[in-house]
Amino acid sequence: MVESILSRAKGDRWIWLIVILLSVLSLLAVYSSTGTLAYKKGVGTEQYLFKHLVMIVGGLALMYFSHLLDYRYYAGISKVLMIVTVPLLLYTLIFGNNVNDASRWVTIPIINQTFQTSDLAKLALITFLARMLTRKQEQIKDVRKSFLPIILYVGLVFVLIAWANLSTAMMLFGVSILLLIIGRISIKQIGAVCLFGFVLLLGVIFLGPRKATYASRIDVYLHPEKADPDKAFQANQAKIAIATGGIFGKGPGNSTQRNYLPHPYSDFVYALIIEEYGMVGGVGIVFLYLMLLYRCILIVTASPKAFGALLAAGLSFSLSIQAFANMAVAVGLGPVTGVPLPLVSMGGTSILFTSVAFGIILSVSRDIEEKKGKEKTVEDRVVVGEIPAM
């Protein structure tokens, strides 16, 4: 059965390999980093490891089934996702679980699993934008028919996410701008989108419920030497973890900062990896994400259809920007945010949606491979004389 599944796994083999490698590393990092959390909860570390393993296996299964579906079907699915996403984001803001003045999560009944609605929103907006830009290519310069519907969807989703999760909203907005550039939107219109986004950003910062948190985090980042030790605690502990890791690290399971970092299994998992695996491990992680981005760019450039190229570009840029944002925060190159490291941080639904995104990218890759296979078959039949040469 396993051999049958593997034989049906198509698409870029390097992406499959890198995703599996990151998943294995994730298991090691989560098992090492959840000891303190397990102690506080009065449970065994194995409980968190098993739950994480279930999510990883579930994610790989979703990735497999997502890549089997022809990527063109995601154009229709994107409309349904957008219809569901907007009211769900509104529901989350009003009735979601409130943590640190941010309502980002909704608890799924029966299974009691938290669900971050921005994960669904990212997938929905990117697929929907790819569809809109593809469908409206012949009218792409028309402000009323093409530009306004696109900017309204982008602006609405941005505000609904940014009210509680500004960092995720800003990254998604940046990916949207990249898609607009690839989709041949004029420079003047892109400038208008950026201005519109900047106005929305100022509104969220100065009118939103987390304005004090934003000001504090930026102040700590810009003036760490003057910052309140309590407010700079996370960033300082991450720096200690990185500094004590050295070149080869302390070894798997030997982290000491996992007992001090507030979220060593999610937001600061990269700092823990460097502490245990050293600079070698940290550079290795960066290389894996760069390799993922490179393989995805090859898929974008090889895709014969605009929708496939836009879909692969949007999803790959979104995941790559998120990964490098997480790592930048861990090493002190940016203010603290709550962005997880894709496929590595412990999480529930974020792993599942990340896996679906890679499955869609692999679906585009599979389509490219199948078309090349058919072209080669035709060429071979011409060579042997089965088909007359033109």
pLDDT value of residue 192:
86
Cβ atoms 339, 325 nearer than 8 A: yes
Task: Lowest mean pLDDT of 100-114, 227-241, 304-318, name the range.
Answer: 100-114
Q: How many CA atoms lie within 13 A of 252 on its CB side?
A: 8
Query: What's the mean pLDDT in 332-361?
Result: 89
Q: Name which residue leads in pLDDT, 238 or 210.
A: 238
382/390 Cα distance (integer angstroms): 9
pLDDT value of residue 193:
87
Name residue, tokens 């697929």. Answer: 127
pLDDT value of residue 382:
55
Residue 209 has φ and ψ, to the nearest 5°, of -75, -10
- Global pTM reads 0.90
pLDDT value of residue 149:
82
Task: Lowest mean pLDDT of 48-52, 94-98, 130-134, name the range.
Answer: 94-98
33/266 Cα distance (integer angstroms): 9
**Both tokens of residue 128?**
């929907």
pLDDT value of residue 100:
57
22/242 Cα distance (integer angstroms): 20
pLDDT value of residue 98:
65
385 has pLDDT over 60:
no
Nearest CA among 349, 39, 260, 256 for reference residue 47:
39
Q: Name which residue leads in pLDDT, 112 or 295.
A: 295
102-108 and 97-99: which strand pairing?
antiparallel
Query: What's the mean pLDDT in 354-364?
Result: 95
Of 124-133, 212-221, 346-355, highest mean pLDDT: 124-133
Average model confidence (pLDDT) across the chain:
85
Alpha-carbon dihedral 228, 230, 231, 232, rounded to 10 degrees: 80
**pLDDT band (50, 70, 90) for residue 103:** low
pLDDT value of residue 7:
61
pLDDT value of residue 58:
93
Q: How many CA atoms lie within 13 A of 80 on its CB side?
A: 5
**pLDDT band (50, 70, 90) for residue 109:** low
18 has pLDDT over 90:
yes
Q: What percent of the chain has pLDDT over 90?
A: 38
Print the SS3 string covering the chain.
CHHHHHHHCCCCHHHHHHHHHHHHHHHHHHHHHCHHHHHHHCCCHHHHHHHHHHHHHHHHHHHHHHHHCCCCHHHHHHHHHHHHHHHHHHHHHHHCEEECCEEEEEEECCCCEEEEHHHHHHHHHHHHHHHHHHHCHHHCCCHHHHHHHHHHHHHHHHHHHHCCCHHHHHHHHHHHHHHHHHCCCCHHHHHHHHHHHHHHHHHHHHHCCCHHHHHHHHHHHHCCCCCCCCCCHHHHHHHHHHHHHCCCCCCCCCCCHHHCCCCCCCCCHHHHHHHHHHHHHHHHHHHHHHHHHHHHHHHHHHCCCHHHHHHHHHHHHHHHHHHHHHHHHHCCCCCCCCCCCCCCCCCCHHHHHHHHHHHHHHHHHHHHHHHHHHHHHHHHHHHCCCCCCC
Query: What's the mean pLDDT in 250-276?
Result: 89
Query: What's the mean pLDDT in 210-232?
Result: 79
**Both tokens of residue 292?**
């993922």
Query: What's the mean pLDDT in 83-101?
Result: 79
Ordered by start, the domain boundaries in the chain are: 1-68+224-369, 72-209
pLDDT value of residue 264:
87
pLDDT value of residue 2:
44
Residue 114 has φ and ψ, to the nearest 5°, of -75, 150
Q: List the beta bridge partners of residue 116.
A: 105
90 has pLDDT over 80:
yes
132/146 Cα distance (integer angstroms): 8
Query: What's the mean pLDDT in 194-199?
Result: 89
Q: What percent of the chain has pLDDT over 70?
A: 88
Query: What's the mean pLDDT in 15-39?
Result: 90
**pLDDT band (50, 70, 90) for residue 1:** very low
276 has pLDDT over 70:
yes
369/374 Cα distance (integer angstroms): 9
Distances (CA, A) of 303 to 71, 182, 364: 11, 13, 7
**pLDDT band (50, 70, 90) for residue 359:** very high
